Amino acid sequence: MNHPPRGTPEREELTARLRDRAKFVRLETVRLTRIAGAGHYTGTFSAAELFAALYYAELRYRPEEPDWPDRDRFVLGKGHAAIGLYPLLADAGFFDSALLDNYTRLGSAFGDHPDMRKIPGIDFSSGSLGHGLSVSVGMALGARVQGRSFNVYCIMGDGELGEGQIWEAAMAAGQFQLGSLVGIVDRNHLSIDGNTESIMGVEPLAARFESFGWKVHEVDGHDLEAILDVFNALDTAAVGPPQMVIADTVKGRGVQRMEGDYQWHVGNLVGADYDDVVAEIESGLRPLVPGGTGG
């Protein structure tokens, strides 16, 4: 999709809105985690700007017609970040946001990982890492077979890249020349047990995808201006190299005590900590603390 160029009033308005919505993602993640008693804070915070840019700028969809056949598809490969996606879907109008007050409670449609049969706006269920890119390949082939022109976007975690199926899908996307497929790696440098490079390294990541036939775009995943520029630069031809966005991010971005700390992969804030974190998120992103584990 074409986004307004930098320096224009339209672009400034859009960027301000996306910044506000990224903040909304973080605030809702904290609120919903308190309802559940545990949640994936940090891997959601690293993707907050990406989520906002996708849902308020890039993706074509119709909340009043969730099954619109020509909508762009979004697959959350890293399904554990669904806690940050649900509020966006509600805000976009797919369902009543009051439903989220029952998040993870018995019988709720909303679990830690998204279920397409229960939640309007979820294009595919996820949670088991490594499947999403294959599913996205299938969606892109589905568009080709049926002569539709939608794009397919798939966000993966960098730890998720350890799953062999990702590379099977990467081979297939190159082989089939799925130019309408946009992969996005939330390169937050941490998986559950620590830094990816100390556990199972993914570098040189860009070169790896390029060698599989992908066109690779690298971007600061918290810089909304840069994200919009990358979206403008995508070459989503029906037949052509698949597009990969490697978004350099910080796990836990937006809450300093969590930034770059793998131990916050799952957690629960209580008491004054909760109020402090809410206030910190409200105040917006601060400069990164030097020496963190993250990017």
Partner 1 sequence: MADARREGTAGQEISDVFRGSTNGPDAPKDERTGKGIEAKSIPAFVAGEALAELGDSDPRIVVLTADLAHANRTVDFAARHPDRFFNVGVAEQNMVSIAAGMASTGLVPFAATFAAYLALLACEQLRTDCAYTGMPVRLLGHHSGMSLGFYGTSHHALEDIAITRAIADLTVVCAADANQLRAILRHSLDWPGAMYIRLGRGRDPEVYGEVPGDFQIGKALRLREGADLTIIATGSEVRACVDVADNLAADGIEARVIDMHTIDPLDRDAILAAADETGAVLTVEEHNLAGGLGSAVAETLADAGAGVAFRRHGVPDEHVIIGPPAALYNHYRLDAAGIESVARDLIGAKGQHDG
Report which of 73, 283, 61, 244 is spatially closest to residue 161, judged by C-alpha positions: 244
Going across the sheet that includes 152-157, the strands are: 73-76, 152-157, 181-187, 243-248, 215-220
For residues 212 and 207, give the distance between their C-alpha atoms in angstroms, rounded to a whole number: 9
For residues 102 and 97, give the distance between their C-alpha atoms in angstroms, rounded to a whole number: 10
Q: Do residues 4 and 11 lie in contact, with contact meaning Cβ atoms separated by under 8 Å?
A: yes
For residues 206 and 214, give the distance between their C-alpha atoms in angstroms, rounded to a whole number: 9
**Shortest reach from residue 147's CB to partner 1, in Å:** 10
Please identify, among the stretches 109-117, 183-191, 227-235, 246-254, the one whose residues bind partner 1 according to the rule CB under 8 A: 109-117
Please identify, among the stretches 31-39, 139-147, 192-200, 240-248, the one whose residues bind partner 1 according to the rule CB under 8 A: 139-147
143 sits near partner 1 (criterion: CB under 8 A): yes
Size of the site for partner 1 (CB under 8 A): 32
For residues 72 and 267, give the distance between their C-alpha atoms in angstroms, rounded to a whole number: 33
Q: Which of 108, 165, 177, 268 binds partner 1 (CB under 8 A)?
A: 165
141 sits near partner 1 (criterion: CB under 8 A): yes
Please identify, among the stretches 82-90, 111-119, 211-219, 231-239, the one whose residues bind partner 1 according to the rule CB under 8 A: 111-119
70/276 with CB nearer partner 1? 70
Residue type, 114: P
149 sits near partner 1 (criterion: CB under 8 A): no
For residues 109 and 117, give the distance between their C-alpha atoms in angstroms, rounded to a whole number: 9
78 sits near partner 1 (criterion: CB under 8 A): no
Question: Which chain residues interact with partner 1 by CB under 8 A?
Answer: 69, 73, 75, 115-117, 123-125, 127-128, 131, 134-143, 145-146, 148, 165, 168-169, 171-172, 175-176
